[in-house]
Amino acid sequence: MSHESNSLLIPLHVSYIQNLGKNKDDLMYHLTAHLRMNAIYWGLTALCIMGHREALDRDEMIDYVMSCWDEETGGFGAHPDHDAHILSTLSAIQILVTQDAIERLDINRVVKFILSLQQPSGVFAGDSFGEIDTRFTYIAVNALSLLGRLKELNVEKTVNYIVQCRNFDGGFGSRIGAESHAGQVFVCCAALTILDRLDVIDTSMLSWWLAERQLPNGGLNGRPEKLEDVCYSFWVLSSLSMLKKVHYIDSDKLISFILSAQDPEGGGIADRPGDMPDVFHTHFGVAGLSLLGYPGLVDIDPVYCMPAALIEKMGLRKGWQALERRTG
Ligand SMILES: [Zn+2]
């Protein structure tokens, strides 16, 4: 894991994703049960970006997703018999859309579940226990948009809460008064992009705040004084992509940083060089490389974090800009 690699090891990452979850005796398999639905979405989307959508069995995946549906609430859990949560519900929808199997869904029930999570303030809760976060607002907006049911959302109330989370530095936090964080900037930018309300953002101030996330080693951090981490490659870049300022980042240095976090033996990408890889950072690393125009990758839509061609086909594409795909 210590050697650096200067190209993306696609076949190795494909087999790394294929092997995840195969060893069900593994302790990690059980410890990550609460993330299982998200992990399938991350794995599938990373495979799509690398041009290997078929590497995981489609029918098996769809059956698994449907086995996590909670008939009582109308949402999806992360694992069969887990409580429904908005996080796993969006992942389930994204997987079904990507696999062209949305007809398996009881859309009315799922929409009802999502809308039931909006609070009087306009923000969304993640589940019936009530934790609130602008992340859940983005998830609700994204999911309703993918299901073609955005018109049932109270847009004014939703946007109004996001606006109240805007800080003096131009960034956004997880709730009113919380500090700016690149992950929250992404969710707020993407929700506003889907709702066609980017006008409430101070684009120039926010773009500079995002550009300042790049450290001398090329990696990006999530907020000032923090360590670089591969997953921020996607959250910072996708936000800049929606603001049409991806060129604010030194792309060569960021590409080298992401590639240096690959595991050249077992495959997968870690949060930073030398750490253990996981499917989350593999997905966001590959997604970041796609936005940077890395050769041979498929375009990702930064707003929905799904294959761009699919979002375009659904008529949902917004006016984002990624770097031009490099050749060879
Ligand atoms: Zn990370």
Closest of 26, 7, 5, 17 to residue 268, by C-alpha: 17
Burial 167-199 (b: 16+ CB within 10 A, else e): bebbbbbbbeeeebbbbbbbbbbbbbbbbebee
Distance (angstroms) between ligand 1 centre and the Cα of 231 equals 4
Q: What's the pLDDT score for residue 1?
A: 41
Residues, CB-to-ion distance under 5 Å, ligand 1: 229, 231, 271
Q: What is the dihedral of CA 13, 326, 231, 47, to 10 degrees?
A: -30
Average pLDDT over residues 36-60: 96
Q: What tens digit of pLDDT does each residue of 224-240 get?
A: 999 999 999 999 999 99
Is residue 135 very low, low, confident or very high in pLDDT (cuts 50, 70, 90)?
very high
Distance (angstroms) between ligand 1 centre and the Cα of 56 equals 24
Distance (angstroms) between ligand 1 centre and the Cα of 149 equals 32
Distance (angstroms) between ligand 1 centre and the Cα of 112 equals 32
- Beta pairing class for 306-307 and 300-301: antiparallel
Q: What's the pLDDT score for residue 129?
A: 87
Residue 150 confidence (pLDDT) above 50: yes
Distance (angstroms) between ligand 1 centre and the Cα of 203 equals 25
Residue 47 confidence (pLDDT) above 70: yes
Q: What's the pLDDT score for residue 5?
A: 60
Distance (angstroms) between ligand 1 centre and the Cα of 30 equals 21
Q: What's the pLDDT score for residue 3?
A: 45
Is residue 30 very low, low, confident or very high in pLDDT (cuts 50, 70, 90)?
confident
Distance (angstroms) between ligand 1 centre and the Cα of 207 equals 21
Burial class (CB in 10 A: 0-12, 13-18, 19+), 55: middle
Distance (angstroms) between ligand 1 centre and the Cα of 279 equals 11
pTM of the shown model: 0.96
Distance (angstroms) between ligand 1 centre and the Cα of 240 equals 18
Distance (angstroms) between ligand 1 centre and the Cα of 133 equals 18
Q: What tens digit of pLDDT does each residue of 242-277 get?
A: 999 999 999 999 999 999 999 999 999 999 999 999
Q: What's the pLDDT score for residue 64?
A: 95
For 24-33, 114-123, 255-264, which range has the lowest pLDDT when averaged over its residues?
24-33
9: Cβ–Cβ under 8 A, 6 or more apart, which residues?
262, 264, 267
Residue 24 confidence (pLDDT) above 80: no
Is residue 26 very low, low, confident or very high in pLDDT (cuts 50, 70, 90)?
confident
Q: Which amino acid is at 157?
A: K
Distance (angstroms) between ligand 1 centre and the Cα of 271 equals 5
Distance (angstroms) between ligand 1 centre and the Cα of 281 equals 6
Residue 2 confidence (pLDDT) above 50: no
Distance (angstroms) between ligand 1 centre and the Cα of 36 equals 17
Distance (angstroms) between ligand 1 centre and the Cα of 232 equals 7
